[in-house]
């Protein structure tokens, strides 16, 4: 059980580091996704 907890923490730390390293790319992707959804909704309404 201790080994699993340690392994999980290590994986979580690695994921957090990846998010921090790629934060700007993640933000751009989210902004693009949100703008695409917004434009798509506008097209449906019109």
Residues in the chain: 46
pLDDT, tens only, 1-46: 455 556 678 889 999 999 899 898 888 888 888 777 666 666 666 5
State which H helix or E strand residue 28 sits in.
helix 23-45
- Give pTM, 2 decimals: 0.42
pLDDT at position 17 is 92
Give the range of the structural domain holding residue 20, as residue numbers without chain letter. 2-45
Tokens of 18: 């990846």
| Count of domains observed in the chain | 1
pLDDT at position 37 is 65
């Amino acid at each position: 059980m201790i080994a699993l907890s340690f392994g999980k923490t290590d994986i979580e730390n690695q994921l957090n580091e990846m998010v921090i390293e790629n934060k700007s790319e993640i933000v751009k992707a989210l902004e693009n996704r949100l703008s695409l959804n917004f434009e798509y909704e506008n097209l449906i309404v019109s």
